[in-house]
Amino acid sequence: MKPNLTFILLISASLFLINVKSVAQKYKRGSVYELNVDKLNNSNNVTWYGWDFSTVKITDFIPKSEVADIKERYIPAMIKLLNKEFSVDWVDRKLNKDTFSSNLSEIQMLHNKIDETTLITYDDYELTIDSIKAIVSSYKLSKKDGIGFVVIMENLNKPNRMVSSYPTFFDISSREILLTARMTGKPGSKYGFVKWWEEGILETLFYFIRKYY
């Protein structure tokens, strides 16, 4: 009996899709620090602060003449797009706390403090957990209690096709880190600096919420 060509093609396609899915899953990883998860679980008061790009580094061969544009145009555009795609309502539903609020200005505005002279690097760049603690401790916040949730951006690495960040829950009063993870993943498939990186950032955050929260 001759093999059924249609059947063979269907099996081949299925194996290909399984393999692609497996590879895609391997691209998204998290190194988790569960420092005081009980406090996070027992609190019903959470504030979403959005995206902190103040300490991000871009690993790429970018001319110095373009660095100002990245700081002043592209990163603010990326934050705006991230806020649209990862909406306040979506965060509210996923965190599922009795009392939820958002403040998308106090931390997100820190992108204005990016040091243009060190924004671009030719090396891989990583923050440490102690760096994350120091960053959170430095925040000047109007709210004095409850739990804060912020995504601290780490590295946009073009040669390695990798984006990395630290989604972080912290106690607003004491600035104690409760739960954080160094998340890594691949950028997207769309063209343009903003769209390419924005897709990868969203993927890693969705993965963090689904797997670790």
What integer pLDDT is reported at residue 7 of this predicted model?
Answer: 41
DSSP 106: T
Per residue in 168-177, is it b (16+ CB within 10 Å) or e — as a string? bbbbbeebeb
Q: With CA atoms as reference, report the closest residue to 205 among 5, 28, 20.
A: 28
What integer pLDDT is reported at residue 76 of this predicted model?
Answer: 96
pLDDT, one tens digit for every residue, the chain (213 residues): 444 544 433 444 443 333 333 334 445 677 999 999 999 999 999 999 999 999 999 999 999 999 999 999 999 999 999 999 899 999 999 999 999 999 999 999 999 999 999 999 999 999 999 999 999 999 999 999 999 999 999 999 999 999 999 999 999 999 999 999 999 999 877 678 898 999 889 989 999 999 999
Q: With CA atoms as reference, report the closest residue to 149 among 58, 69, 86.
A: 86
* The token pair that represents 194 in the structure block: 């903003």
What integer pLDDT is reported at residue 188 of this predicted model?
Answer: 77
Boundaries of every domain in the chain = 29-212
What integer pLDDT is reported at residue 30 of this predicted model?
Answer: 79
The C-alpha atoms of residue 86 and residue 80 are separated, in whole angstroms, by 10
